[in-house]
Structure 1
Amino acid sequence: MPLTSRLLFAALLASLSFSALGERLRIVTEPWSPYVIADDKQVSGLDYEMTNIVFKRLGIDVQWQFLPWKRCLMMLEQGDADGVLDIVKVAEREDLLLYPNEPLSDVNWVLFQANARPHPFNRLEDLQGLNIGVSPGYLYSPEFDSSALFTREPAPSHEANFGKLVRGRIDLMVTDRVVGQRMLDQLQLRDQVSQLPEVISRRAMYLALRRNVGMDLLVQRFGAELKRFKREPAYAQLVAHYTGETLQLPATSSSDPTVIGAEKTVEQHESSAL
């Protein structure tokens, strides 16, 4: 059998193991608006919707579970989930997970402070002796995650971290820039909390699948289809809806009239601290 035919056959088997057999791909993630939004009424969010669109095009049904991040990681390790949404790619997870070539979103980890207790921050050494609120299981940057200059205090949710910050139980907290800005509005904290301008790190977020038979080909197909979708106007509309950022769609390529590229025109003015 030619190589191309073998690859197509393997990809077909991967699909058959789910939809064609009446099963669903089990994906876990933690809600964090605007990437994943889960409430009593509906589930939405930028990365959630992109993932659903891509899997629908691939003919794969998905079963979602929304859990605290540390529980998501535990389910992956125990084999109780097939994949995870919005995870960073790091070497220590490559024995367990497969990542597509195309990320879903890029996040900017930044610090938030209580306006009544400001803490200027330009470099890691400025955090010496402070108590920093973090989320369990999150990876921010190798330097930040391993630093002995300050204490990292986990909280069960982003809302809890903001509450601890306002009450003075922590000195600063770290989260994604877009997530934090959304929560300032949701929690009505704009007069009490502000974002520090320096960026701790920028990380790409992926949909990752557990290493298993046929999953490597499914990951490749997911990445290729995601890349195609991100060249469509529908992608720009999702980004604008959930983040407020505007994407400029270049003119259709003369060599491929079905493909429209989408490039970000919004510049991030924060500078990297590390």
Structure 2
Amino acid sequence: MKTAVRVLMLVVSLWLSGGMPAWSQTVQLASYDYPPYMLGGTLPGSPGPVVQVVREAFRRAGIPIEITFYPFQRAKRLVEVGEVGGIFTLKVTPERERQFMFSHEPLLQQEYVFYAQADSPLVFSGDLHKLPNVVMGLVTATSYGNRFDEFSKTLPATQKDYSNSHEANFRKLIAGRIPLIICSRQVGDAILRRLEATHKIKVIGPPVEVANSYLMFNPSVVAPATIIEFDNQLHAMRKDGTFQRIFDNYFYSMRKPP
């Protein structure tokens, strides 16, 4: 990844100049409510497996962090203006990669699917260009993977209905205000459980795409060496099984009866 090469070059430069940072400074990170992966204190218990993974990777690195939850658009803006050092999770896009740095190791891999009302006649064959010409619910400034992102650019504005969150889109769908939305399957299913509406909504067709999401850093705030060290620990967690164990334990606990 080009970003990783740029980070490595910066680290070497800092090392040669004696400018490698100490780990004493707390890294401020932003996140947002994205069930079941990041819960932000909206529900009792675990904050979600991705939050646990991020905390553990920084703990192993000996780097203090503070994670604050915001509405998605605000969290993204805070990183852009440098008020916090990073945000998780986001997908890599060419526009973002020109300004920010991403962890090399992904935090999430998600299937993106279309949701419609349970009695909807809409179908999706797997070919985006054969989708019915209906209004589609999207979240502002959100990537759904390269395939869908490119396709959405070809849609007229009248076919795109934007909200500030995935939950807002599901509420519109449930109320019949829009006929179709796209969302990560795990996230969509978690939102439907939260809204007690699993019987009202269905997935139509196969996944549109399987996409990775990462921790995105503002390199003017977070030292390149910090990004490298986070990546090293995240890689080690995958290798020793901790990464998968955190996810497995979380989803096992969700299945246990109360």
TM-score (norm 1): 0.77
Matched residue, 1:81? 84
8 Å CA contact 2:85, 2:221 repeated in 1: no
Matched residue, 2:186? 178
State how far apart, in whole Å, the 2-side matches of 1:83 and 1:5 are: 20
Q: Tell me the secondary structure at the aligned position of residue 133 of structure 2.
A: coil
1:226 offset after TM fit, Å? 0.2
State how far apart, in whole Å, the 2-side matches of 1:86 and 1:181 are: 18
- Cα 1:4–1:160 shift into 2, 3 Å: closer
Matched residue, 2:237? 229
Moved more, 167-176 or 142-151: 142-151
State how far apart, in whole Å, the 2-side matches of 1:42 and 1:156 are: 25
Flag structure 1 segments of 5+ consecutive residues without an equivalent. 19-23, 245-274
State how far apart, in whole Å, the 1-side matches of 2:215 and 2:195 are: 29
1:120 offset after TM fit, Å? 0.3
8 Å CA contact 2:40, 2:69 repeated in 1: yes
Which runs of structure 2 are paired with 1:148-167 in the superposition (5 Å)?
A: 148=155, 151-167=159-175
Alignment pair present for 1:71 and 2:67: no
1:8 offset after TM fit, Å? 11
Q: Which has the higher contact order (CA 8 A, sep 6+)?
A: 2
- Cα 1:30–1:214 shift into 2, 3 Å: closer
C-alpha RMSD over aligned residues? 2.4
1:239 offset after TM fit, Å? 1.6
Matched residue, 2:131? 127
Which runs of structure 2 are paired with 1:201-240 in the superposition (5 Å)?
A: 201-212=209-220, 215-240=223-248
State how far apart, in whole Å, the 2-side matches of 1:48 and 1:9 are: 33
Alignment pair present for 1:90 and 2:90: no
State how far apart, in whole Å, the 2-side matches of 1:237 and 1:198 are: 28
Q: Structure 1: which amino acid aligns with 2:77? A: M
Moved more, 218-227 or 33-42: 33-42
- Cα 1:6–1:157 shift into 2, 3 Å: closer
1:145 offset after TM fit, Å? 3.2
TM-score (norm 2): 0.82
Q: Structure 2: which amino acid aligns with 1:117? A: S
- Cα 1:96–1:107 shift into 2, 3 Å: same
Alignment length, in residue pairs?
235
State how far apart, in whole Å, the 2-side matches of 1:120 and 1:49 are: 37
8 Å CA contact 1:34, 1:242 repeated in 2: no
- Cα 1:143–1:7 shift into 2, 3 Å: same
Alignment pair present for 1:6 and 2:15: yes
- Cα 1:130–1:219 shift into 2, 3 Å: same
Matched residue, 2:7? none
1:231 offset after TM fit, Å? 2.0
State the structure with more CA Rg. 1
Q: Structure 1: which amino acid aligns with 2:165? A: S
Per-residue CA shift, 1:230-259, capped at 9, x if unaligned? 122432321213345xxxxxxxxxxxxxxx
**Paired-residue identity, %:** 23
1:214 offset after TM fit, Å? 6.2
State how far apart, in whole Å, the 1-side matches of 2:92 and 2:223 are: 17
1:159 offset after TM fit, Å? 2.2
Q: Structure 2: which amino acid aligns with 1:74? A: R
Q: Tell me the secondary structure at the aligned position of residue 28 of structure 1.
A: strand
Q: Tell me the secondary structure at the aligned position of residue 220 of structure 1.
A: helix
8 Å CA contact 2:82, 2:221 repeated in 1: no
8 Å CA contact 2:72, 2:164 repeated in 1: no
1:203 offset after TM fit, Å? 1.5
